[in-house]
Structure 1
Amino acid sequence: MGLLYIVPTPIGNLLDITYRSINILKKVDFIITENIKYTSILLNQFSIKNKLLSLNIVNERKKTNQYIDILKSGNNMAIVSKAGTPTINDPGYILIKYAYHNNIRVVPLPGACAAITAICASGLKTNRFCYEGFLPNKKKKCETKISSLRKETRTIILYESPKRLEYTLKLIKKIMGVQRKITIAKEITKKWENIQRGTVEQLLLTINDNIYCKKGEITIIISGAKKKNKNIIPSRVFRIFKILKKNTSNTTAIKITAKICRFNKNILYNEIIKKNIL
């Protein structure tokens, strides 16, 4: 059995390729690529001579079985996409799934990915996020998709085309509100790299005044919806507690207040401690 390597390639700056990626691309028997012409430019840059095989959204199902047979015969193969990490919004998922079904070892290499690179520089929370790729082309489905993300509390990553950027931001404004914080990362790692942050309202004004904002590859990072605190205690509850504690102990006052106002006494106690009103 051969090995199937997942090899990320630069998303712009060719110097972002890793030494290990170059080494693997040189030594494998075949390189499977989404775009032969584009990958040839990269290989020539690093003096890599190897046989390229095609795998795209049109021929993926047809070619997968052929490539599995090549792997089963003992040949090592590497899969690359046009740019970035293979299978992230690109072909390759079916090939990798079939490789596992045939007990072929899959070896992933770390490397460039527009979504991860953009969120790192977004200034928004990165501990929890969801990746949604490209939004649907049809307007109704696009609107439905954004509506489904309105209450998402994780940071949201989207890819968008320059022609649809303004339309998408207007939809986000309409559905998620004018104050939703957004980062637009354009042409990441390239000469014209541009990262802009602000509310959706502010960014709409910016792209209207700057034609260059509507060009290039774009990643949109949207702040997650704020969680509603279900345990917010109204000020009247604290007023009741203050009245009761004048005539009884703090513990008893908390118990009675919690019972009257139908609040958990432990939550009420913690809030009273925070407000320093014991």
Structure 2
Amino acid sequence: MSEAVLYVVATPIGNLEDITPRALRILESVALIAAEDTRHSGRLLSHFNIKTPMIAVHDHNERQQQQKIIEKLQQGLDIALISDAGTPLISDPGFVLVREVRAAGFQVAPVPGCCALVAALCAAGVPSDRFAFEGFPPAKSQQRLNYYTARANETRTLMFYESPHRIIDSLKDIVSAFGSERSIVLARELTKTFETFLGGTAEEVLAQVEADPNQRKGEFVLMIEGAPEQDDTLLDPRSSEVLDILLEELSVKQASALAARITGVKKKVLYQAALERK
């Protein structure tokens, strides 16, 4: 593996004090910074008096720029990858570049720091032992509603990013798909002056956002508590009926095995139910 390194550097999502000393050292020492938006990142670098040259690497040119970056690495030059805010690749460009740089035999080193979804999750008071980050939901209304509805029975905490001009419609779709009583938390403007966490039922949070125009500004992380775990020891009426009929003619082992094939219910659940009936 070559000695040149591509550093994936997390940058602040709001408060500039959140940048790490290591991130500053890397950004100062590399030969080149690959930035999602050079004008936006230029303000960050200027604030810390970092003069490292930049090139733009974003969704529309990532595949074209990757060869230039690999050529720089082949010359033995270290490079840093940054996004507009937070950790690159997390709903931001960079995946294609990182994959190709690794395939070319170069080291890719993470320089951890801010990430909006982690910042939101640790302060929201929602279950954090199991969660699924889904990025941005679809922009079109019907697609978004279908997308949410397909996830309504997910038992993990669901996390989404959402934009200001879609937040009301997105919350309405959450009420429709997950039910008005599902607990959610909406985090807004994390680490910034007007950082806000709104929690309650989906209907309550929607009402708060509709009532206050200020709650529709900024960048959002939506967190939806997972659906209750289903007790797989309880048989639905049809499976119970099938098992009862089979038990009239077959042994517990035979009846539970055949009922599992017919209903799709786990064999061990049916076997236990059959034992209780006998």
TM-score computed with the length of structure 2 as normaliser: 0.83
* 1:28 aligned onto 2:30: yes
Q: CA 1:265 to 1:58, structure 2 compared with 1: closer, same or farther past 3 Å?
A: closer
Q: CA 1:208 to 1:78, structure 2 compared with 1: closer, same or farther past 3 Å?
A: same
Equivalent-residue separation in structure 1 for 2:216 and 2:275 (angstroms):
50
Unaligned runs of 5+ in 1: 234-261, 269-278
Partner of 1:203: 205
Contact 1:231 1:267 (8 Å CA) reproduced: no
- Percent identity of the aligned residues? 36
Shift >3 Å, 4+ stretches? 265-268
* 1:71 aligned onto 2:73: yes
Structure 1 residue 122: deviation in Å? Answer: 1.2
Contact 2:136 2:162 (8 Å CA) reproduced: yes
Give SS of 2:134's match.
strand
Equivalent-residue separation in structure 1 for 2:115 and 2:158 (angstroms):
15
Equivalent-residue separation in structure 2 for 1:214 and 1:186 (angstroms):
9
Q: Deviations over 1:198-220 (max 9, x none)?
A: 00011111111111110000110
Equivalent-residue separation in structure 2 for 1:203 and 1:143 (angstroms):
18
Contact 2:31 2:79 (8 Å CA) reproduced: yes
Letter paired with 2:144: C
Partner of 1:213: 215
Name the count of aligned residue pairs: 241
Partner of 1:131: 133
Equivalent-residue separation in structure 2 for 1:14 and 1:146 (angstroms):
34
Partner of 1:183: 185
Q: CA 1:266 to 1:21, structure 2 compared with 1: closer, same or farther past 3 Å?
A: farther
Equivalent-residue separation in structure 1 for 2:141 and 2:67 (angstroms):
36
Equivalent-residue separation in structure 2 for 1:97 and 1:192 (angstroms):
37
Letter paired with 1:183: V
Equivalent-residue separation in structure 1 for 2:161 and 2:187 (angstroms):
10
Equivalent-residue separation in structure 1 for 2:137 and 2:61 (angstroms):
23
* 1:150 aligned onto 2:187: no
Structure 1 residue 267: deviation in Å? Answer: 10
Q: CA 1:267 to 1:167, structure 2 compared with 1: closer, same or farther past 3 Å?
A: farther
Q: CA 1:266 to 1:42, structure 2 compared with 1: closer, same or farther past 3 Å?
A: farther
Equivalent-residue separation in structure 1 for 2:231 and 2:130 (angstroms):
19
Q: CA 1:5 to 1:266, structure 2 compared with 1: closer, same or farther past 3 Å?
A: farther
* 1:58 aligned onto 2:60: yes
Contact 2:20 2:113 (8 Å CA) reproduced: yes
Equivalent-residue separation in structure 2 for 1:138 and 1:196 (angstroms):
24
* 1:224 aligned onto 2:226: yes
CA RMSD of aligned residues (A): 1.8
Equivalent-residue separation in structure 1 for 2:275 and 2:60 (angstroms):
58
Partner of 2:254: none
Structure 1 residue 230: deviation in Å? Answer: 2.6
Structure 1 residue 38: deviation in Å? Answer: 1.1
Q: Deviations over 1:124-165 (max 9, x none)?
A: 000100000001112222122111211111101100011111
Partner of 1:275: none
Letter paired with 1:211: P
